[in-house]
A and B are shown apart, each in its own frame.
Chain A
Amino acid sequence: MVEATVHATFDVYRFEPGTDATPRYDRYVLDLPPHTPVLSALLKIRAEIDPSLSLRYSCRSAICGSCAMQINSKSRLACEAPIGPELARDGRIVIEPMRNQPVLRDLVVDQDPFWQNYRKIEPHLILDPRHPMPEGRENPMTPAQVDRFKETPRCIACAACYSACPAVEADPAFPGPMALAKLYRFVVDPRDTARQDRLVRIQTDGLWLCLRCHLCTEACPKDVRPSERIRDLKEMAIAAQGATEPGSRHALAFKENIRDRGPLNEMKLARQSMGLTELVAQLPQGIRIWRKKPELLRAPHAIEGDDEVEKIYDALDDHRSSEDLP
């Protein structure tokens, strides 16, 4: 059977820092079956048209995590992205290196910052030397305990999440979704003895810079759902240490604020979340907004049934993290 092919146009990012003044896009046009993975197309381009094209890949089976790149602006694995849907939607395929990591050449990026953030969370079990494992047996876990981190071991460290993350893009203090998802895995591991210390440290090491935009969860080829694990970490960090940072203070203040009346009181929230110095610093902006939006200073009416809201708090607000409940 002769397979139908499609006319596929690739615009591929080319750049060699130090040699090229600016990046350029080289166009390659090939006839390929629509199910062809982007990676196979790029390897064909390199083998048959332009041997100078640089890219990183290895297993071609979505296991090694080497071939993540931007395909029509989305960070994904080239080995598992067929060209058909991309062409059907955009008419061409724009191939670019991952974002948020410096380009070494063409599609190859410098992953050092990504790995440094990973190393910083100490991605290994920290055991208590005073309680060594019993001779001759391993450190057992129950299936329910293992279940708590069933998603994170699927991570193949492809850095698609790191590339998609707007917090990483805007602030080097944010460790990135993958490092935090990995941290979660050790925090909920019952064999790890550094849980408290890990949760305390991460509060000042960028945890609260997560925007919970879920772009990482969307980009992840292995459904690790980093944004949801980061939310879990935030709740566990508050339960472990209370509100020590602007982020945790804001989350707690928000919760307390709703308890009062039901709706949010914007002005009160600002007072609860910020210290006096910050509040004073925010004053000119507040006045600017208040002049157009005078409701800012008005307390909202209590809702009907605010006693119900209060009783729900009484039943469920026991200062334990939802993650740790039996």
Chain B
Amino acid sequence: MKLAYYPGCVAQESGKELDMATRWVAKAVGIELVSFPSFSCCGSGFMDEANEVLNIALNARNLAIAEKAGLDLLTICSTCQGMLTLANVRLGDAKVKSRVDGALRPLGIEYRGTTKVKHLLQVLTQDIGLDSIRAKVTRPLDGLKIGAFYGCHLLRPADELGWESAEEPHSFEDLLAALGATPVYYRGRVMCCGFPIQFVKPETASRIAGHQILDAKAHGAEAMATPCPLCHISLDAYQNRAEKAVGEPLDMPVLHLPQVVGLALGASPEELGLPRHLVSTVALTAKVGARA
């Protein structure tokens, strides 16, 4: 299948390993990624706090780029997924639509509202399908206990994002099981990672991240996996702060969604950018027989 690839800002910058792993997995499962150098930032839930209509208009422009190419949009970030989907929803309001159209029309941009926004997790579990992925597993993650961490904007508000239960999601766990891993269920898997207030009150943000990691750990997780690079920053790059905030060592490797898939499908840790993580994944990958 062919999709307009919307990597989002972080995967093109400090979270580049997510882009690397996505490209590897896309090739392995047969997704053709079409790049558009004209995509702008989704607003990340920050811009709409300053100007919601402007944020919707910028995303309408993004959605129009994919629409013009006749492609659905692939995201690899829970927050991009949420912001772009909500732009589609809010454009259903005639008042919003007319303001947005008023800004886009002079630029010769028209968005008719037909672009579907799909996160990689949806594409893998719904379009490619678990059977097809299971058949491609060459390095089963046998028995590895992994706690999925969804990221808020992939799930909520459920009535507007509308693809999976916000309270009892299971697609990520189903995928982990198909890769041979043992999914770990814990309350924190649908909770917040703390990232949105890292700039507002870092101690509180880190305490929230620490709570979720401790919860995963208490339920036996040896690693966590997330479909959101912002959660990854909070859980991996800032894990040292989370440790300080909760007063306990955490030592929890955190993988991006396509890194877990790539690992099971035979990619090397380097191809997946695993050495770029702040919390080492070496012991974890050695367990499934993947060595540098």
Contact = CB atoms under 8 A, between A and B. Distances in A.
B47 A215 contact: no
B106 interface: yes
Contacts of B238: 285
A258 B14 CA distance: 17
B183 to A, nearest CB: 16
A292 interface: yes
Nearest to A227: B157
Contacts of A227: 157
A167 B276 contact: no
B232 to A, nearest CB: 11
A238 B48 CA distance: 11
Contacts of B286: none
Given A218-B166, A255-B51, A273-B199, A213 B38 contact: no
B219 interface: no
A305 B38 contact: yes
Q: Main SS of the interface on chain B?
A: helix
A134 to B, nearest CB: 32
A311 B107 CA distance: 8
Given A213-B152, A218-B167, A312-B107, A254 B53 contact: no
B204 interface: yes
Interface in A278-293: 285, 288-289, 292-293
Contacts of A323: 52
Given A293-B16, A308-B107, A211 B196 contact: yes
Nearest to A308: B107
B278 A292 contact: yes
B200 A263 contact: no
Contact of A250 (B53, B95, B199): B199
Interface residues of B, number: 63
Interface in B1-30: 9-10, 12-16
A247 interface: yes
B50 A288 contact: no
Contacts of B61: 308-309, 312
Contact of B207 (A170, A213, A218, A306): A170
B197 A316 contact: no
A316 B107 contact: no
Contacts of B196: 210-213
B12 A254 contact: no
A237 to B, nearest CB: 9
B192 A295 contact: no
B278 A289 contact: yes
Contact of B53 (A228, A293, A311, A322): A322
A246 interface: yes
Interface stretch (B97-105, B116-124, B249-257, B259-267): B97-105
Interface range, A side:
35 or more
B268 interface: no
A210 B48 CA distance: 14
B131 interface: no
Contact of B103 (A208, A254, A316): A316
Given A166-B191, A217-B157, A211 B208 contact: yes
Nearest to B233: A289
A231 interface: yes
B204 A209 contact: yes
Contact of A262 (B41, B106, B156, B192): B41
Please indicate which of the listed interface residues B43, B49, B158 has the most CB atoms of chain A within 10 Å of its own CB: B49
A262 B6 CA distance: 13
Contact of B157 (A211, A214, A304, A305): A214
A40 to B, nearest CB: 22
Contacts of B9: 263-264, 266, 300
Given A171-B201, A209-B200, A215 B276 contact: no
Interface string A245-261: 11110111011001000
17 contacts: A74-B167, A170-B211, A215-B152, A234-B49, A235-B49, A246-B201, A247-B200, A258-B40, A263-B9, A263-B41, A292-B277, A295-B12, A305-B38, A306-B40, A315-B57, A316-B57, A321-B51
Given A171-B204, A250-B199, A312-B54, 8 more contacts: A74-B167, A166-B208, A167-B192, A212-B45, A228-B157, A238-B49, A289-B237, A317-B51
Which 7 pairs across A and B sit closest by C-beta, in order of nearness?
A: A214-B156, A315-B103, A213-B192, A254-B46, A264-B9, A262-B40, A251-B49
